[in-house]
Chains A and B, each alone.
Chain A
Amino acid sequence: MTLSNDIHPDQEFLAFLAEGKFKIQRSRSSGAFFFYPRVLEPGTGKTDLEWIEASGLGTVYATTVVRERPPKSNYNVVIIALDEGPHMLSRVEGLQPEEVTIGLRVKAEIIPFDDKHAVIFRAQEHAVAEKGGQQ
């Protein structure tokens, strides 16, 4: 039994993030994307998986503001519907937490988190502006 070709979902996801790539999985035969990473396609059990770099584009599907007692700041928690289909929990940065609304178009950004990385999102126009208009 060889394990060298097996997918180790969490490790590989984080390793891609460390390289600056936000990748999600899909089954080669079904073509359907899913998130979070797994060793099989949920529902079908297919293991013909590949990692594809996500477009990073998505839409805010649900949002909440977590209220902190001062001096801590309130922050936002969202569910993002990725353009590829899957949903993921995340945060929209660059706006006041209350300004994040359902339907907002967003773009992914990789940030350091503890000694690893995580994917957050910014409103698309903000993301574009901060990168000097490049898209």
Chain B
Amino acid sequence: MNRASRGTTAIVGAATFGIGEAPGFTSPDLAARAAVAALDQAGLTLAQVDGLFIAFPNDFLSGLSFAEYLGIQPKLTNNNRTGGSAFLTHLAAAARALEAGEIDVALIAYGSNQRTGAGGLLSAANPNIYELPYKPRLPVSAYALAASRHMHQFGTTRDHLFSVAKSAHDWAVLNPEAFRRKALNRDDYFASRMVSDPLSVLDCCLVTDGAAAVVLVRKDRAKDCKGAASYVLGWGEATDHYQIAQMPDLTTSAAKHSGARAYAQAGVAPSDVDIVQLYDAFTINTIMFLEDLGFCKKGEGGDFVASGAIGPGGSLPVNTNGGGLACVHPGMYGLFTIVEAHRQLTGAAGARQVSGAEIAVAHGNGGFLSSQVTAILGGSSTA
């Protein structure tokens, strides 16, 4: 019996394009293909989009450039940039603008060719004079520092981190879209090259190409749309630092606050949640966010993931597409959490479908554990 609120806005299309390697495409090309695919699902057209939400990796005016590329003149563009969580802030802003009647059709899109086009991870982060002399390998060293502290304080181990990576790969095997569709062997994990202790290459997300797009309308209009809908029940945002050395407590992220705000708005508790899609840029993220979002106590995330709870057949399926670790990570992953949540809630997840999934958490992380944004989405029972 869930107490979920009835959301006023609905996701009526969610699509991906070019996951893995998509040579020859620019980032806007990829995002545009995802956008039209998501609109097709909804039975809507580009011309109907009057709210555009977008953040390309290194185009700081992408609200303008992508509207032009699509050939639309939206009433509202939003290019909020909080790192990889940006797209969850876009979801919140789109829901507010739809609710207010300011716009009727919102398109959130993202694309990047950073594997085949840019040849490596693109980052908008600028080191300053208080970081430069020490050459942290950002972003990984920032997350490694957080992991070192979690291990020190709570006895979290690399075995626990391995459980996160293994689960992501187990899900990826079930997802034809995933870039790395191969089970992860324990020996291979422990033999993998260290990048910034305690994180090895297999603790780090992929660098792939890929695009995603999501289309939202007010709920009353969702029934006129072609595809199945999921519903935006609540959201919460929080940020407590930018540089990793300024993070108040390296073992607890602001997801504690973003999650609490989202649960309150949605009228659900962690125990009501069927599936979780969270931004696993590094294995430690999954452990920290599961704690901060209330799925286990602080410090117990390692044992929780090692129990098998988050993998296929587990009690709390997490990152059912394979996540940033094994499915797709084109620089910013946030929008893919929404796409996968929608697919699960509408029964469109194929071999990895979690039966009866009705309440999903989609959680984005940005910067260096800096920005945390949580959304609660619901299936048809919350319509």
Which of A's residues lie within 8 Å of B, judged by CB? 10, 14, 35-36, 61-67, 75, 77-79, 87-91, 98, 102-103, 113, 116, 118, 120
The 10 closest A-B pairs by CB, nearest first: A118-B133, A64-B144, A62-B145, A89-B245, A65-B197, A62-B149, A102-B152, A113-B133, A36-B130, A67-B194
Whether A89 pairs with B134 at a CB distance below 8 angstroms is yes
Whether A64 pairs with B149 at a CB distance below 8 angstroms is no
Could you tell me the distance in whole angstroms from the C-beta of B359 to the nearest C-beta in chain A? 35
Whether A67 pairs with B197 at a CB distance below 8 angstroms is yes
Q: A89-B244, A102-B152 are in contact. Are A64 and B193 (CB under 8 A)?
A: no
Q: Please report the C-alpha to C-alpha distance between residue A116 and residue B197 in the assembled complex, in whole angstroms.
A: 29
Q: Residue B135 at the A interface, CB < 8 A?
A: yes
Whether A64 pairs with B145 at a CB distance below 8 angstroms is yes
Q: Please report the C-alpha to C-alpha distance between residue A88 and residue B152 in the assembled complex, in whole angstroms.
A: 19
Interface size range of chain B in the complex: 20 to 34
A-B contact list, 8 entries, CB within 8 Å: A64-B144, A64-B145, A64-B199, A77-B141, A88-B130, A88-B245, A91-B133, A102-B148
Not counting A62-B250, A66-B141, A77-B134, a sample of 13 additional A-B residue pairs whose C-beta atoms are within 8 angstroms of each other reads A64-B144, A64-B148, A66-B137, A66-B196, A67-B197, A77-B141, A79-B145, A89-B245, A91-B134, A102-B149, A102-B152, A118-B133, A120-B133
- Of residues 161 to 214 in B, which have CB atoms within 8 Å of A's CB atoms? 193-199
- Of residues 207 to 224 in B, which have CB atoms within 8 Å of A's CB atoms? none
Q: Residue B131 at the A interface, CB < 8 A?
A: yes
A-B contacts counted at CB < 8 A amount to 74
Q: Please report the C-alpha to C-alpha distance between residue A63 and residue B148 in the assembled complex, in whole angstroms.
A: 6
Could you tell me the distance in whole angstroms from the C-beta of B304 to the nearest C-beta in chain A? 22
Could you tell me the distance in whole angstroms from the C-beta of A125 to the nearest C-beta in chain B? 21
Q: Residue B243 at the A interface, CB < 8 A?
A: yes
Chain A residues whose C-beta falls within 8 Å of the C-beta of B137 in the assembled complex: 66
Closest to A34 in B: B246
Could you tell me the distance in whole angstroms from the C-beta of A58 to the nearest C-beta in chain B? 12
Whether A77 pairs with B136 at a CB distance below 8 angstroms is yes
Q: Please report the C-alpha to C-alpha distance between residue A101 and residue B146 in the assembled complex, in whole angstroms.
A: 14
Chain A residues whose C-beta falls within 8 Å of the C-beta of B146 in the assembled complex: 62
Q: Please report the C-alpha to C-alpha distance between residue A116 and residue B133 in the assembled complex, in whole angstroms.
A: 10
Could you tell me the distance in whole angstroms from the C-beta of A74 to the nearest C-beta in chain B? 9
Q: Please report the C-alpha to C-alpha distance between residue A36 and residue B141 in the assembled complex, in whole angstroms.
A: 19
Q: Residue B1 at the A interface, CB < 8 A?
A: no
Chain B residues whose C-beta falls within 8 Å of the C-beta of A65 in the assembled complex: 194, 196-197
Whether A64 pairs with B197 at a CB distance below 8 angstroms is yes
Residue-wise, chain B 264-281 has the 8 Å CB interface mask toward A (1 for contact) of: 000000000000000000
